Amino acid sequence: MAKQFKKIGVLTSGGDAPGMNAAVRAVTRYALKMGLEVYGIYEGYQGLITGKGSIKKFAPHDVANIIDKGGTMLYSARCVEFKQEEYIRKAVEVCHEFGIDGIVTIGGDGTFRGASDLCRYGIPCIGIPGTIDNDITCTDNSIGYDTAMNTVVEAIDRLRDTCESHARCNVVEVMGRNAGYIALETSIAVGATAVVVLEDPNYDEAALIEKIKVARAAGKRNFVVIVAEGVDNYSEGLAKRIQAETGVETKFARLAHIVRGGSPSLADRVLAARMGVAAVDFLLEGKENVFVCERDGEMVATDIQEAIVIDKLYKSSFTPGMEPPAALANYSPERQAEMKAFCEMRAAEVKELLAISENCASYK
């Protein structure tokens, strides 16, 4: 018999992402329709630790007129205390005080670790991937990714105009923490001369310099090089070296948190609504400790623990200093082989995007 939920909480955690509000709205409206009580938890997991004053019983009007708003009306915080057992226990006590018997957590990989901690103490959680980085390995898309990429494209299209006028190069650093997805897809969309991401083991700066020289000599006037922020301490120096070694005047732009704001795109609003409804359905079906993934256009439930292992397994394949997860050994050889194959599939997708970006920007 599936657990009967009466009261659920909803929170947003980690870096905010456009579309989080659309997800909060979908969870709230649908859960209320299904007869549940809904509690908005403000300031992420910090709100659960604080309790009274950070938790509000929601009615339908509490999530009105937010679908088009960037950021998160529930606010967010990176709650370092939530790594300590005493604070997790405090959060569980607060859930019991309010009678909250399930929580929908919206955020990135750190959010899912917090959710899995609450699950350990018997508070079922359903995660919704909300991060502009799109670096939740098990889902094809996370909420905020599409909007962030469109923001980057609009900014770089503007930079290209002025580079064309003045025959300049612009090196642009974009967010994504350790994942290069924003850089990769936007490099294709803006026709960047090159893209630099951690996931590319074959990146060759000398070849980039030569490419700019050849293209400039052939009359090309504008050059854009996109660098993912995960490539540490690289982008600004590259701009200086391009100017020094090619003679092309080179500027530098770090888009930083501009990429995090703005009204969510249609794609993110629809994804958020689909994931919000799916999260409530999973709770009502008695699914616990899973998160909502988009896979080939479908909403599927993925075990949070497995998702964390797969995430670390994939990221450790290209992130300097990141070790594969020890928890991988807890799974059967067959399941481990499936996890590795999934990570190889993700790596192949990145390789294809890199090839498309390079092939369409060839100047040979």
Q: Would you please indicate which residues are annotated as catalytic (active-site) residues?
A: 133
Question: Are the beta carbons of 260 and 17 closer than 8 angstroms?
Answer: yes
Smallest separation, CB 254 to ligand F6P (Å): 11
How many CB atoms are closer than 10 A to CB 344? 12
Q: Which is nearer to ligand F6P, 117 or 133 (CB)?
A: 133
Q: Which is nearer to ligand F6P, 229 or 306 (CB)?
A: 229
- Region near ligand F6P per CB under 6 A, out of 31-39, 128-136, 204-212, 290-298: 128-136
Q: What are phi and psi of 361, to 5 degrees?
A: -110, 15
d(CA 224, CA 212): 10
d(CA 22, CA 72): 9
d(CA 126, CA 10): 10
- SS3 assignment, position 66: coil
Question: Are the beta carbons of 91 and 118 closer than 8 angstroms?
Answer: yes
Q: Which is nearer to ligand F6P, 134 or 222 (CB)?
A: 134
Residue 108 found at the interface with ligand F6P (CB under 6 A):
yes
d(CA 348, CA 246): 33
Smallest separation, CB 228 to ligand F6P (Å): 9
Residue 133 found at the interface with ligand F6P (CB under 6 A):
yes
- Region near ligand F6P per CB under 6 A, out of 40-48, 130-138, 206-214, 241-249: 130-138
Residue 175 found at the interface with ligand F6P (CB under 6 A):
yes
Binding to ligand F6P in span 59-88, by CB under 6 A: 78
Residue 132 found at the interface with ligand F6P (CB under 6 A):
yes
Q: Which is nearer to ligand F6P, 195 or 242 (CB)?
A: 195
- Adjacent-strand bridge partners of 291: 127, 302
- Adjacent-strand bridge partners of 9: 39, 103
Build a one-symbol-per-residue string for 250-269: x at contacts with ligand F6P by CB under 6 A, - elsewhere. ----------x---------
Q: Which is nearer to ligand F6P, 28 or 134 (CB)?
A: 134
Task: Return the residue nearest ligand F6P (CB atom).
Answer: 15
Residue 15 found at the interface with ligand F6P (CB under 6 A):
yes
**Residue 47 corresponds to which tokens in the numbers above?**
């709100």
Residue 127 found at the interface with ligand F6P (CB under 6 A):
no
d(CA 15, CA 273): 19
d(CA 276, CA 298): 13
**Residue 208 corresponds to which tokens in the numbers above?**
């980039």
Smallest separation, CB 110 to ligand F6P (Å): 8
| Size of the residue set binding ligand F6P (CB under 6 A) | 11
Question: Are the beta carbons of 55 and 304 closer than 8 angstroms?
Answer: no
Residue 47 found at the interface with ligand F6P (CB under 6 A):
no
Question: Are the beta carbons of 144 and 23 closer than 8 angstroms?
Answer: no
Smallest separation, CB 285 to ligand F6P (Å): 30
Q: Catalog residues that contact ligand F6P under the rule CB under 6 A.
A: 15, 78, 108, 131-133, 175-177, 229, 260
